[in-house]
Structure 1
Amino acid sequence: MPTTRETVLAALHARLQSLAALVLRDGQPGEPEVTLSPPRYHHQHRAELEVVFQSGTERASAFDTLTASIGTALVADRTLGGLCDWVEAEAPQPADLPVEGAAILKAAAIAVVLHYSLSDPLSG
């Protein structure tokens, strides 16, 4: 049976995979906030999306459209169907990637913070 962490990451990937070719890095669930009676472990898991785009002279505007569509997809369901408490993306960190003999690629890392709670730190 998949853990909550893997279920949430799979739902995030499923939500975004139709938008573009992207890489989802698991990231780190971080140190949880703990509440007692009953014990709950509240994570702010930072996953990372890597997006690469190449489209000639219009790549900057197409890239902006792509990052905006990622934001729109996340805003449409902030709980990923009830699997987590909240999902939010941080601003993209863009970079131009030179490729010898080809057009420059436009890339970005986009951190996505997934807020969810667990009853056991190992069931995550």
Structure 2
Amino acid sequence: MGAAHEQPESAGGGNDPDRADLQLNFLEAAIPTEAQQIESIDQAESEKSSSAFVLSQADIEKALRRGSNFENSKLRIWEIYQTQPDRKLRAKALAKEYAPHGPGGCSHTYLDGSSGWLDHDSKGLTFEH
């Protein structure tokens, strides 16, 4: 004690606006209840999901009309849609159409005019926006 670099003790609670070493007084802070915190988290989560990209059926059909970039692929895809009414079985058939050609992709313009990327592999189509 008594060294030149030591600050003298003060009786204040750190409320002097001219000082850089202000203290936070937790007794004055409004701490939200558990229910308020849960509500804030739920609201933040719903805001995240409401801004998610929505892919329309028309955009999917537009991509399928391009084909898999291999001979007669457009015809085979059209036949899948004409002969397979079950959605899950149709998805399996489309995956088989793309599987032999290996992974690939191309740029894609969505119906709203925005741009993205379309990948295809044995698992099917992946749209990036």
TM-score, normalized by length of structure 1? 0.31
Which has more helix, going by share of residues? 2
Which protein is richer in strand relative to its size?
Answer: 1
